[in-house]
Amino acid sequence: MKDIKVISFADAIKKSTDKPNLLLGNGFSIACKQDIFTYKALLDEANFKTKCPNGEKLFQIFQTSDFEAIIQKLEDSAKILSVYGYVDKEMIKQIKKDAKCIRENLIKTLTAKHPNMPNEISNEQYKSCRIFLSCFDRIYTLNYDLLLYWTLMHDELDDLKIDCKDGFKKSEDASGYVVWDSGQYDQNIFYLHGALHLFDAGYEVQKYTWINTGVKLIDQIKVALDKKMFPLFVAEGTYKDKMRRIQHSNYLGRGFRSFESTGKELFVFGHSLSTNDEHIIKAIEKSKIERVFISIHGKLSSSNNIYLLNRANKIQNARLGKKHSFEVIYFDADSAKVWNS
């Protein structure tokens, strides 16, 4: 711990030899709206009584507010119980149903708590975030919310030239949404786990927009949820289940392949390197990336940071003796002033 040096974000950017790529974790959103985007805040608002009466008890028993952790335990339980022939099949069916219900509850609660309008975030915050984002080439996010999208759309606030090609274009039938163009290979904005405003219609991936409808994005998403239409969302419990979900979507698969094939330096902001996203970490291990800059929030001695440092060390060990060397540099998350905070 004593040998770990944490530098400022400005010094980290100076150390990068080329315009690096960026991976955003939930800390990016929490830094903007802590009262909304932490799992604890979402759990406080979740309603399991109607369709998932066991939901609240499960979170209490395991003393967690992590939705994905509970989903993982349910999915693992169903797999284990299926091995034993005497177990009631209806019980296994109910466990799987509860896992699905908790996943859907996460989507509904996030939508309900999400800021309704972009102006609920100040122009000063958007400006600060845009300065941060302008430092990077490709942007990969694991977040489901609209904060990144809103920030990139606020290009009238400054003269920054942020290249933001997310791969979507106008629909030929002049609908209120835009569609993903799988042939657009200059895409540089990737929602690796989907997002609230992205919907898989089976034959196309749709992105809801305000500019084509004049209807608030959150209102459009709520209408879709009322119709039992759920956004493109990777919230499975284990990283293997997440990878299965990703591999069954051309859009998600393209994003993941882009991430794992990059050889550029990578900045990781707001991600704890948790086991829930082991597929992302393994992609870094297997990549040609030779230098990763990882944000540190709070004291190095905190349990979260000790875990993060140990996991980062394992990545380094996995790369020993490989063709591409690997270096980890830590930077202070607060010094990045992502939301002018």
Instruction: Render pLDDT for 4-35 as a digit per residue (tens, 0 to 9).
Output: 899 999 999 999 888 999 999 999 999 999 88
Q: Helices (DSSP H) in the chain: which residue ranges? A: 9-15, 26-30, 34-37, 39-45, 55-61, 67-81, 89-113, 123-133, 147-153, 217-226, 239-247, 250-261, 278-286, 303-318
Asked whether 4 and 300 are in contact (CB, 8 A), the reply is yes
Classify residue 76: in a domain, yes or no. yes
**Within a domain: 341:** no
The pLDDT assigned to 35 comes to 87
Q: For residues 256 and 12, is the Cβ–Cβ distance under 8 A?
A: no
Which has the closest alpha carbon to 71: 51, 55, 83? 55
CA dihedral 66, 309, 270, 273 (to 10 degrees): -50
pLDDT digits (tens, 9 = 90+) for 132-154: 999 999 999 999 999 999 999 99
Instruction: Check pLDDT > 60 for residue 1.
Output: no
> Is 198 found in the same domain as 133?
yes
Lowest-pLDDT choice from 40-44, 192-196, 266-270: 40-44
Domain boundary pick from 83, 113, 143: 113
β-bridge mates for residue 180, sequence order: 168
222 shares a domain with 73: no
Residue 298 and residue 205 share a domain: yes
29 and 43 together in one domain = no
Last residue of a domain, one of 113, 143, 167: 113
Q: Residue 270's pLDDT is what?
A: 95
Co-location of 109 and 120 in the same domain: no
Statement: residue 109 has pLDDT above 80: yes
Its domain, for residue 23, covers: 6-33+116-336
Query: 2 pLDDT band (50/70/90 cuts)?
Result: low
- 267 and 177 inside one domain: yes
Specify whether 75 is located in the same domain as 224: no
> Which of 96, 113, 130 represents a domain boundary (last residue)?
113
Question: Is the residue at 1 inside a domain?
Answer: no
Looking at the structure, tell me whether residues 307 and 187 fall in a common domain: yes
Q: How confident is the model at residue 341 (pLDDT cuts 50, 70, 90)?
A: low
Q: How many domains does the chain have?
A: 2
From residue 305, how far is each of 105, 110, 310 by CA, in Å? 29, 26, 8
Do 72 and 122 lie in one domain? The reply is no
